[in-house]
Chains A and B, each alone.
Chain A
Amino acid sequence: MQATDRQNEVQHLIEVHGVGKDYQMGDSVVSAIKTMDFFIDDGEFITIVGQSGSGKSTLLSILGGLNHPSRGRVLVDSLDVYGLGSEQRADFRSEYIGIIFQSFQLIPYLTVLENVKLPMAITGIKAGEQDEMARAVLDKVGLADKVARLPDQLSGGEQERVAIARAIVNRPPILLADEPTGNLDSDTATEVMRILQQLNAEGLTIIMVTHNAESCKYARRTIQVKDGSCLSHFTVDHR
């Protein structure tokens, strides 16, 4: 109780209070997430681990303002995410969240450069500046020479890096990644994890869902999820 009070006094970037998610399956109700409470501070690199169906991806979608929880509150930068209307939540995602999807989810008819510029299409940033910002992040992920290619002309690792570039181009404070290395071979996965580690070192808060224990070594803290509940939090000391 005393610990909780202390936590409440501190301003956290993300606060999860009693969040749960139920799904109606015919006549019965299934809890994907029972009840969760935790905090994430600015600049943390968190991994959420757990088996398939444990509720980790549901938790990530709730943190990203994509999936309304059945109960509880999610505060991001003191903003009650699900107290916002649907359109304001879209604005919140645009401003606060960068998302790397499990299967890259690039738009097939847009080039690499256009895919990266996609989140800026609704921001009012001028064309020249958009171009500059997109090229800068593509340079950061090592794809400066492939700007004109379409997604299906790239390897899996390259597509993943385009997805990372798209997620960070708007300079959001939070990056959510759902199994970013799930479809990659080990060398490419290591390369992607190094990019994420570098972004975290630059100050970006990263929350990554993974079932790969290897990936946890890059994170400062790991939340283990089982049957819709937080089983444990453990911190990795990289010093």
Chain B
Amino acid sequence: MKLYNISFNNLKRRKAKIIFLVSGLLIGIATIVTLLSITDSMSRDIEERLDRFGANIVMVPKSENLALSYGGITVGGVNYAVEEFYEKDLAHIYQIENKKNLGAVAPKVLGAVELQDRDILLMGVDFNIELALKNWWHLIGAPPASADEVIVGSEAAATLQLKSGDKIQLTKDRSFRVAAVLEPTGATEDGIIIGDLHAMQAVLGKDGRISMVEIAAFCRDCPISEMVLQIAEQFPGARVTPVKQAVMSKMQSIELFKSFSYGIAGLVIFIGSLLVFVTMMGAVNERTREIGIFRAIGFRRGHVMQIILLEAMAVGLVSGLLGYGGGNLAAWAVMPWVIPGSSFAGFNLSLGGIAVLLAVSLSLMASYYPARKGSNMDPSAALRVL
């Protein structure tokens, strides 16, 4: 017989009371785990959605001149000496510290050509990347399947009277098929022709050159501004700017969810602690006579404390583990209702560790005072029999 045998036998044979005690703590821990798991899943979901919303970093060659355009209106007949990057240098972007946070890297080449006696802007892109990045594009027709196919913006199609399947001659010796017309976007794309990056480089006489790069990046643990600095270091000749609106909305949404869930978690912890404290206090008071027996037969205060705190630790451990499991289960079940179409982000082992540690600490803290009170009882007063 050791002191822990007394604790475990008590837990084993007073099932109903222990189930009640474990349930109280379990509900608290499960609520916290559910909230944090949902928040985590929501953050990930929001990140994914916002990442799909487009690029949040733009890299263009440095220029001494100031832009003379606003809202798509260009004033003056200023000709800029257009500076460009070399496509082969683009690989340097993957040398930044936060390279794992780089999503889509979409290089573009820009230039004007004459078509049907009109100047028109051509943009060369990697269609696989571009169409994934601009998922709000709606095409009338099929996406280009080869380098000889192009997408025509809605305004350009109207002006040039083009539709899917038409042929256009962009150079003397090279014609392209219109694979699709882009539905109006309200942006610059409406007035341009979009083709394959390498094909357009050839048409524009800019082989191996890039006019700008759009980057979709997200970093949960570091600000985008840090990634901007890292990219700028790799490209001294480039001006790298964050698209602030997108970044801010991403960060703010996530921070808002986190603050909300931490607030609720704090409240739940407080209520859970009170519950455990009151239950433990009741459990110790119920055992006054038993503690009196322990003390009367020679148990020291420390022995009584050990028995009660060992029980509390076991209750905390079981509640923590079950609460973590239950919380994740609840998060998994609730997530599709909270954000339709989303899913549970999966088990977070660190959260599991924290949940168990929290449950054990709460149980120990809530039991400490009752245990101390119990162990300090005068044995004769506790027994009231001698």
Query: Which residues of chain A are within 8 angstroms of B10 by Cβ–Cβ distance?
Result: 109
Query: Which residues of chain B are within 8 angstroms of A22 by Cβ–Cβ distance?
Result: none
Name the contact of A105 in the complex, choosing from B6, B9, B289 (C-beta under 8 A): B289
Is B290 an interface residue when CB atoms closer than 8 A count as contact?
A: yes
Given known A67-B380, A127-B1, contact A57–B386 (CB-CB < 8 A)? yes
Is B239 an interface residue when CB atoms closer than 8 A count as contact?
A: no
**A93 near B385: Cβ-Cβ < 8 Å:** no
Is B14 an interface residue when CB atoms closer than 8 A count as contact?
A: yes
A51 to B149, CA, bound (A): 114
Is A121 an interface residue when CB atoms closer than 8 A count as contact?
A: yes
Query: How many residues of A are in contact with the other chain, CB < 8 A?
Result: 36
Is B58 an interface residue when CB atoms closer than 8 A count as contact?
A: no
Contacts across chains A and B counted by CB atoms under 8 Å: 93
**B386 near A61: Cβ-Cβ < 8 Å:** yes
Query: Which residues of chain B are within 8 angstroms of A150 by Cβ–Cβ distance?
Result: 13
Query: Which residues of chain A are within 8 angstroms of B379 by Cβ–Cβ distance?
Result: 66
Among residues 346 to 386 in chain B, which have CB atoms less than 8 Å away from a CB atom of chain A?
A: 378-380, 383, 385-386
Given known A87-B300, A90-B299, A109-B14, contact A118–B386 (CB-CB < 8 A)? no
Name the contact of B380 in the complex, choosing from A66, A86, A92, A127 (C-beta under 8 A): A66
**B380 near A118: Cβ-Cβ < 8 Å:** no
Name the contact of A119 in the complex, choosing from B3, B9, B298, B302 (C-beta under 8 A): B298
- Residues of B contacting A: mostly: helix
Query: Which residues of chain B are within 8 angstroms of A130 by Cβ–Cβ distance?
Result: 1
Is B295 an interface residue when CB atoms closer than 8 A count as contact?
A: yes
Among residues 63 to 94 in chain A, which have CB atoms less than 8 Å away from a CB atom of chain B?
A: 64, 66-67, 86-87, 90-94
Q: Give the distance to chain B from A122, nearest Cβ to Cβ, in Å.
A: 5
Query: Which residues of chain B are within 8 angstroms of A66 by Cβ–Cβ distance?
Result: 295-296, 378-380, 383, 386
Q: Give the distance to chain B from A98, nearest Cβ to Cβ, in Å.
A: 8
- Residue of A whose beta carbon sits closest to that of B302: A87
Among residues 268 to 309 in chain B, which have CB atoms less than 8 Å away from a CB atom of chain A?
A: 289-290, 293-303
Name the contact of B301 in the complex, choosing from A57, A87, A93, A118 (C-beta under 8 A): A87
Name the contact of B6 in the complex, choosing from A64, A90, A110 (C-beta under 8 A): A110
Query: Which residues of chain A are within 8 angstroms of B294 by Cβ–Cβ distance?
Result: 118
Among residues 93 to 117 in chain A, which have CB atoms less than 8 Å away from a CB atom of chain B?
A: 93-95, 97, 99, 101-103, 105, 107-110, 114, 117
Q: Which of B289, B293, B296 has the most CB of A within 10 A?
A: B296
Given known A66-B380, A118-B6, A122-B3, contact A95–B298 (CB-CB < 8 A)? yes
A109 to B299, CA, bound (A): 18
Query: How many residues of B are in contact with the other chain, CB < 8 A?
Result: 29
A62 to B291, CA, bound (A): 18
Given known A57-B386, A66-B380, A91-B300, contact A105–B293 (CB-CB < 8 A)? yes
Is B100 an interface residue when CB atoms closer than 8 A count as contact?
A: no
A79 to B380, CA, bound (A): 21
Name the contact of B1 in the complex, choosing from A64, A97, A103, A118 (C-beta under 8 A): A118
- Residues of A contacting B: mostly: helix
Query: Which residues of chain B are within 8 angstroms of A114 by Cβ–Cβ distance?
Result: 1, 5, 9
Q: Which of A61, A114, A121 has the most CB of B within 10 A?
A: A121
Among residues 295 to 327 in chain B, which have CB atoms less than 8 Å away from a CB atom of chain A?
A: 295-303
Query: Which residues of chain A are within 8 angstroms of B1 by Cβ–Cβ distance?
Result: 114, 117-118, 120-121, 127, 130
Q: Give the distance to chain A from B351, nearest Cβ to Cβ, in Å.
A: 35
**A90 near B2: Cβ-Cβ < 8 Å:** no
- Residue of A whose beta carbon sits closest to that of B304: A90
A166 to B301, CA, bound (A): 20
Q: Give the distance to chain A from B17, nearest Cβ to Cβ, in Å.
A: 10
Query: Which residues of chain B are within 8 angstroms of A102 by Cβ–Cβ distance?
Result: 385-386
Query: Which residues of chain B are within 8 angstroms of A86 by Cβ–Cβ distance?
Result: 301
Given known A91-B300, A93-B297, A118-B297, contact A110–B386 (CB-CB < 8 A)? no
Is A178 an interface residue when CB atoms closer than 8 A count as contact?
A: yes
List 9 interface pairs A-B (beta carbons < 8 Å), by A numbering.
A61-B386, A64-B386, A67-B386, A101-B293, A105-B289, A105-B385, A109-B10, A127-B2, A166-B297
Q: Which B residues have a C-beta under 8 Å from some C-beta of A?
A: 1-3, 5-6, 9-10, 12-14, 289-290, 293-303, 378-380, 383, 385-386
- Given A67-B380, A99-B296; 7 other pairs, CB 8 A cutoff: A87-B301, A90-B299, A94-B299, A101-B385, A121-B3, A122-B303, A127-B1
